[in-house]
Structure 1
């Protein structure tokens, strides 16, 4: 009787651990995005962007889709952490646009963003997936991260678009691997539904010759 209870307890703990993977991974991915941990380096409308939130903010301010205070709310946590780490100072609210070079973003050329549509679209999905993932983890973060990686690979390996300035060359930080793992781990996979939707295998039937031989 004692030996039969050990597998049940271990299986229940493993199931509980699997259920907790998705929300934990979603929270880690949220902090990677909202605290603006550098994932890559690519040219954007504001100069050089290193996070999906920076790419998204430059596009949102230039297109005036969201009010500027809303974008500042998204940028401030990462700016505060970076200021404390680098200079042990907290940036002022009114200096946020100057810190990210977003004051004259409307006059900047949109060619760089149009040439990197995968990175731009992936950054949108990554930021939205990080925010939505706190309430309900889904596949948005995974799609966004994959789009960003494909855009970086296309420019870094295939050379599209071409870049002659070494200071603006594409660079991928190792932290993007952590973001990719968290994006995949935040997706919930229902094993019971997969088992239910799997087609049932046909049961083997005896051949007519064998059944006749049995009757004889």
Structure 2
């Protein structure tokens, strides 16, 4: 019974770990984006949101601020200012940047949207959105870095996948609730209709 209780908590634990990976902006990959170089789904999403003006800027800053605080404390033990967030992430000129960069990486862009949304929604109810987002990002990175010809020959701007991407994938897959009992339960036996007694007697007469 104790093991069953622990396994039932795995999706919620995995969802929380995935949430911290995304919101705290742990580097998962490295690709070029509108703001320059992006290493997290939130950075890719934020550059697109600021450029398209779909969501107000304060909401985008709220997504960026937790990770900015962690990065500031780790790098130089300082807490970044709320007003300097757009400058820190080079988002002040993304509206003038070309949209070709995002069009070349639609899988990474769509996957980043799903990953951020899945991380936020997963706190309330773990689902498949995080898994779809992570798989889309991985497919986009593999498509560009292995299957396709890299656009940039500069090693500093080449596509790169950090080992933390594997942790994100495991958390995304583990956040899905699998009903093992329901899957292993045999299908109900079909009842064979028997002829009515009156009809069988009429046939004998």
Structure 1 length as normaliser, TM-score? 0.85
Pairing partner for 2:167 from 168, 173, 178? 178
Within the alignment, does 1:56 sit opposite 2:57 as a pair?
Answer: no
Matched residue SS, 1:65: coil
Pairing partner for 2:136 from 147, 156, 159? 147
Matched residue SS, 1:42: strand
Alpha-carbon distance, 1:194 to partner = 1.9
Matched residue SS, 1:106: coil
Structure 2 length as normaliser, TM-score? 0.89
Whole-Å Cα distance in 2 between the matches of residues 161 and 117 of structure 1? 15
Within the alignment, does 1:24 sit opposite 2:20 as a pair?
Answer: no
Q: Which runs of 4+ in 1 moved over 4 A?
A: none
The alignment's C-alpha RMSD in Å is 1.4
Count the aligned residue pairs: 190
Unaligned runs of 5+ residues in structure 1 are 1-11, 203-216
Within the alignment, does 1:42 sit opposite 2:51 as a pair?
Answer: no
Whole-Å Cα distance in 2 between the matches of residues 41 and 152 of structure 1? 9
Counterpart in 2 of 1:100?
A: 89
Whole-Å Cα distance in 2 between the matches of residues 35 and 182 of structure 1? 15
Alpha-carbon distance, 1:183 to partner = 0.2
Alpha-carbon distance, 1:62 to partner = 0.5
Counterpart in 2 of 1:80?
A: 69
Whole-Å Cα distance in 1 between the matches of residues 140 and 184 of structure 2? 36
